[in-house]
Amino acid sequence: MSLPRIAVDAMGGDEGVRVMIEGAALARRRHDRFKFLLVGDEARIKEALEAHPNLRSASEILHAPDVVSGDEKPTQALRRAKTTSMGLAINAVKVGEAGAAVSAGNTGALMAMAKVALRTMPGIDRPALSALLPTLGDNDVVMLDLGANTECDARNLVQFAIMGAAYSRIVTGRAQPRVRLLNIGTEENKGTENLQAAAAQLKLASASLDMSFDGFAEADKLNRGDVDVVVSDGFSGNIALKAVEGTARFVADLLRRSFASSLRSKFGFLISRPATELLKHHLDPNNHNGAVFLGLNGVVVKSHGSASALGVANAVAVTARLLEENITERIAADVARLGTGSIRTAPKAGE
């Protein structure tokens, strides 16, 4: 059974057309059910497709005369949504010409365009950016929000937990994902009023939402493998994510420098190469590529701007998985089960 076609912003990312087309072609070779709407400069897309006949036969091209630049402000990009490859890819989802959109372009612009075009789902106040992080356990951990909302109240955090748990059930297969709120400590009295209020509501609601709420998680435990969903406001989540990514690069660079420091170290590298290759694979962001905007009336996936063809292919695979598993319908069903009226904000001081 073929899936709804995926709209690919072929102009997004650091290298644009070449990598985006190579990534889509790799995804198509892995899964011949995938079909694509390739959005961007028609002449450049056709030229890139010459090397990928299998992708060409499963794709249609939608010409877009403009491109959203990496440093463009979201408000500026919104005004050009009808002419840019990013805007037209999202619009294809809105009008039903594609089931989902993938872009490696400007994150802020992508969020703004997706929110305006697709709107948030009933019962969800704000969409959240979610991604998978590697762990020492059997499954990756779902983390959200990663920067779409810098300030969040308790109601937002509860909604993020609902969306993250639905996503986790798809990617991990766990019937009741273990959910925690990112905090400065695991003690029940730690954190802001919003965190305290969100924790109290999730304790009551978790049984009816097929999740296991386990309280708070500290940032140094994100990759241990004992939690499936970590929920945060976008400000804290983005900082935590970049700290994790920076630490991964630091470890990789430190190992590379250490192994090159002497002849004995180089010999040691040859002996330990299988282990270092496994570490490299585990830390490579291309193997975990594909951040998802959850809470919209449609599927939009953000690829790393610096992703390789392998990374783009993995982002496409994430997109297809979400389409296949009906992520939007799952979230809507969970929100309806809880009832939006039971999700409250934290009380104001003096109330």
Helix, strand, coil shares, percent, the chain, to 5: 50, 15, 35
Is residue 60 predicted with pLDDT exceeding 80? yes
Is residue 143 predicted with pLDDT exceeding 80? yes
Report how many helices (DSSP H) and strands (DSSP E) the chain contains, helices first: 12, 11
295: amino acid identity, one letter: G
Question: What tens digit of pLDDT does each residue of 197-245 get?
Answer: 999 989 888 777 888 998 999 988 888 888 999 999 989 888 888 887 7
- Predicted local distance difference test score (pLDDT) of residue 351: 46
Instruction: Count Cα neighbours of 125 within 13 Å in the Cβ-side half-sphere.
Output: 16
> Which region among 84-88, 318-322, 340-344 has the lowest average model confidence (pLDDT)?
340-344
- Predicted local distance difference test score (pLDDT) of residue 349: 43
Question: What tens digit of pLDDT does each residue of 146-203 get?
Answer: 888 888 999 999 999 999 999 999 888 888 999 999 999 888 888 889 999 999 989 8
Is residue 94 predicted with pLDDT exceeding 60? yes
pLDDT level of residue 350 (50, 70, 90 thresholds) = very low
What order of strands is seen across the sheet that includes strand 212-217? 59-63, 36-40, 6-9, 100-103, 299-302, 291-294, 128-133, 141-144, 229-231, 178-182, 212-217
Q: Which CATH superfamily is domain 131-287+332-351 in?
A: Isopropylmalate Dehydrogenase (3.40.718.10)
Q: How far is CA 81 from the centre of its chain?
A: 22
Domain boundaries, the chain: 131-287+332-351
> What 3-state DSSP class applies to 118?
helix
Question: What tens digit of pLDDT does each residue of 8-56 get?
Answer: 999 988 888 999 999 999 999 888 888 999 999 999 999 999 999 999 9
> What 3-state DSSP class applies to 37?
strand
Question: What tens digit of pLDDT does each residue of 259-314 get?
Answer: 676 766 665 656 655 655 555 555 566 667 788 999 999 999 998 888 888 889 98
- Predicted local distance difference test score (pLDDT) of residue 259: 67
89: region left, alpha or beta (phi > 0 left; psi from -120 to 50 alpha): alpha
Tell me what the pLDDT averaged over the chain comes to: 85
Peptide bond into 210 cis (omega under 30): no
Is residue 80 predicted with pLDDT exceeding 80? yes
Token pair 């992703």: residue? 307
Top mean-pLDDT range of 2-6, 37-41, 66-70: 37-41
- Predicted local distance difference test score (pLDDT) of residue 32: 80
- Name which residue leads in pLDDT, 94 or 214: 94
